[in-house]
Structure 1
Amino acid sequence: MSVSKPRPSLSANSSSCGSAATTLSYRNKVRNLTTSADSTGKNNFGALYALACVKYSTRLSHCVKISDKKNSVEITGDRMKADDWQAAMEALSNDTVTHHVLIKNRRHPDIIARSYDTLSSALSVPKNTSASSTLYVVNTIAGCLCEMLSKSHALLCLEVENIMFDCHALKRLLTGISANSTLQHLSLAYCRLGDDDCVSLCRTLRDKPNVRSLDLTGCALSPFAGKNGVVDLIKKQQVRRHEECWVHSLRSRSANPDAMQGLRRLTLNNNPTLGDNGVADLLESLKDDFYVKAVDVQNCGLTDRGAQLALSTLMVNNTLVVLDLRRNPNVSGSMLDTIMTRLYENNTDVEETKRWKWTKLRKDNAFKSTSSSIR
């Protein structure tokens, strides 16, 4: 007796075909928007975000802001739910023309909530846990940024603030940074990378001369990160610049240091465990470096010993525009005055200083949005 096989449900097939058609339609719309933006250069994030919200049946979030004038996107994630993050990140991963991206939390997450590693679990987090601290959202952010960095030919500034990355998520982010050639400013302020992740980041940036400014404020760095990460980055780029100068000399031409690529500003504020030992090798390496223009080490646990090392560097290197040692309680006022006097002497009647007005002593160059919220 033969047993007939059950016939596939017509409704199931119809549903599957409908879902596939919807996905194909979504991809076609995204492709058309991206192609149009590439040809016109106009910001298309708003349209991409609206499409993603329709795809995931969620609403536009007021926490996502766009500035057409600045060609920027700002995402403040403290009050966003996991599905809000899903839509916003998918839109960002398809964006190829935005110049400035800021993703931030206003509050410091204590730890990554690793038990919430899927969308369904992240949607059910307790009220006292932010969705942006869940492993699902952390991986979503890292994956999105990796895609955006790999695709974008226009991204100049990436700021990620108060987002904690585990080693897997950071590896994805570094993959994107390695693939990108347009990024000029990178900030991972208060992401609390720690020493090992900082070293991995600096190793990636050694071969990325397009990055001109690096902000590692509040990243829980110790002398190990200073010596094996930051100093190694500066020295390796310094060697490459010297090689470029040597090539120019063979052609009977003089190289213009200001026209060379590579790191120009390094911000290490609010790493109190860095200490004198953490900046000693950095300051020593800057004696032979005439390319880095600004170094910020506010609240880094320095004493008069570290300040004396800084002054010694300034006596040799007269090209530094900013060397900011304020908010280090164990550095005396008289030593700060001496350093400021020397900086003034270094920059008096120097024409190039006018081009470095953005290297302010205060950390007031954070993203100030005059943008319009998506409603």
Structure 2
Amino acid sequence: MIDSAKMRRDCAADFYSHYEYLCALQDSVPLPAVRSCLREGVLDFNADRLRSVDWAPLLGTLKINKDLPLVSIKSFFQPWLAETGSDRSKVCRSRVPAIRNKDMSFQLCKALKCCLSTSNALKNLELNGLVLRERDLTILTKGLNKSTALVHLSLANCPIGDGGLEIICQGIKNSITLKTVNFTGCNLTWQGGNHMAKILKYQTMRRHEETWAESLRYRRPDLDCMAGLRRITLNCNTLIGDFGARAFAESLSEDLWLRGKF
């Protein structure tokens, strides 16, 4: 049996070699933060540390990636810390990470869409703290629709709001591989709770249909192999409130498959 850690490292080496090549084309060098995480066979980095010029070779490589099992991109920038005076604000605005630029976030989502559409290896996608606008989420959803491997999706601390969640739901409701989603701290209200409740009801109906079809063939349905979400994480969305919780409770009353909701 091939060692899984070795396989990840080999795949990361392929990613790194192409990334290094694209860096050389623009007369730059690979970023240490990217190089170090690729040694572990994954792409996991703090996006705040990348300048605009750093993104092009990375996104060009990510766009054609078919090997990495995990892509995790984080941002911890807090713009409100700069709102104490005009001079200080000017200084801090000059230090706003490139990833906070709307064109850069769109280019990132375009690259992720291509990666999701073609990769049979990408099982975990984690975007933490990124500002994702409607057009970003729309293009990302196209990739989610086409993914045949994604198991875990996290948009933790991305302030997508109810409208953004509704867009994402269109990309995940028919997924046959996705098992867990994390929408912690996404600025959701009871309307976002309703969007998730509708997804649960839709998937429950499809599972019942599949169970019924299997019973007609005198087979015992394999509940563990059925498509649909198993875990939903909604921490730090206090505005979901009682109304949103009630919608969840109603959708869960007939769901025999969902194992965890936090």
Q: TM-score, normalised by structure 2?
A: 0.87
Give the alignment of 1:5-44 within 5 angstroms. Answer: 42-43=11-12, 44=14
Give the alignment of 1:315-354 within 5 angstroms. Answer: none
Partner residue, 2:19? 49
What SS does the aligned partner of 2:71 have?
A: strand
Q: How far 1:153 sits from its partner (Å)?
A: 1.1
Deviates most, 185-194 or 131-140: 131-140
Q: Deviations over 1:281-322 (max 9, x none)?
A: 1122112111110101xxxxxxxxxxxxxxxxxxxxxxxxxx
Amino acid at match of 1:167: E
Q: How far 1:178 sits from its partner (Å)?
A: 0.8
Q: Say yes or no: does 1:175 pair with 2:161.
A: no
Q: Deviations over 1:169-191 (max 9, x none)?
A: 11111111111111000001111
Partner residue, 1:323? none
Q: Contact 1:223/1:275 (CA < 8 Å) preserved in 2?
A: yes
CA distance in 1, matches of 2:10, 2:217: 38
Partner residue, 1:66? 37
Q: How far 1:256 sits from its partner (Å)?
A: 2.0
| 1:254 counterpart (220, 226, 229) | 220
Partner residue, 1:363? none
Percent identical pairs in the alignment equals 29
Q: Contact 1:109/1:163 (CA < 8 Å) preserved in 2?
A: no
Amino acid at match of 2:94: K
Partner residue, 1:12? none
Q: TM-score, normalised by structure 1?
A: 0.62
What SS does the aligned partner of 2:185 have?
A: coil
Q: Contact 1:109/1:164 (CA < 8 Å) preserved in 2?
A: no
Q: Deviations over 1:136-194 (max 9, x none)?
A: 21111111101111111111000001111111111111111111111000001111111
Q: Contact 1:48/1:94 (CA < 8 Å) preserved in 2?
A: no
Q: Contact 1:199/1:225 (CA < 8 Å) preserved in 2?
A: yes
CA distance in 1, matches of 2:78, 2:246: 30
Aligned length: 242
CA distance in 2, matches of 1:59, 1:95: 19
CA distance in 2, matches of 1:167, 1:210: 24
CA distance in 1, matches of 2:191, 2:183: 15
CA distance in 2, matches of 1:271, 1:42: 37
Q: Deviations over 1:239-262 (max 9, x none)?
A: 110001001110011112122121
- For residues 205 and 106 of structure 1, do their structure 2 counterparts lie closer, same or farther at Cα, with a shift above 3 Å needed? same
CA distance in 2, matches of 1:91, 1:216: 27
Question: What is the root-mean-square deviation in Å for CA atoms of aligned residues?
Answer: 1.9
Amino acid at match of 2:130: I
- For residues 256 and 163 of structure 1, do their structure 2 counterparts lie closer, same or farther at Cα, with a shift above 3 Å needed? same
| 1:234 counterpart (182, 200, 204) | 200
CA distance in 1, matches of 2:120, 2:39: 17
Q: How far 1:109 sits from its partner (Å)?
A: 5.4
Amino acid at match of 1:76: N
Which structure has the highest helix share of the two? 2
Give the alignment of 1:63-102 within 5 angstroms. Answer: 63-64=33-34, 65-69=36-40, 71-102=41-72
- For residues 109 and 243 of structure 1, do their structure 2 counterparts lie closer, same or farther at Cα, with a shift above 3 Å needed? farther
Amino acid at match of 2:212: W
Is the radius of gyration larger for structure 1 or structure 2? 1
CA distance in 2, matches of 1:238, 1:68: 41
Partner residue, 2:132? 165
Amino acid at match of 1:294: G
Partner residue, 2:171? 204
Partner residue, 1:188? 155
What SS does the aligned partner of 1:78 have?
A: helix
What SS does the aligned partner of 1:273 have?
A: helix
What SS does the aligned partner of 2:94 have?
A: coil
Partner residue, 1:263? 229
Partner residue, 2:4? none
CA distance in 2, matches of 1:86, 1:283: 45
- For residues 103 and 109 of structure 1, do their structure 2 counterparts lie closer, same or farther at Cα, with a shift above 3 Å needed? farther
Amino acid at match of 1:42: C
Q: Contact 2:77/2:97 (CA < 8 Å) preserved in 1?
A: no
Partner residue, 1:273? 239
CA distance in 2, matches of 1:109, 1:184: 32
Q: How far 1:42 sits from its partner (Å)?
A: 2.9
Q: How far 1:41 sits from its partner (Å)?
A: 7.0
Q: Contact 1:193/1:219 (CA < 8 Å) preserved in 2?
A: yes
Q: Contact 1:194/1:221 (CA < 8 Å) preserved in 2?
A: yes
CA distance in 1, matches of 2:28, 2:259: 46
CA distance in 2, matches of 1:241, 1:108: 42
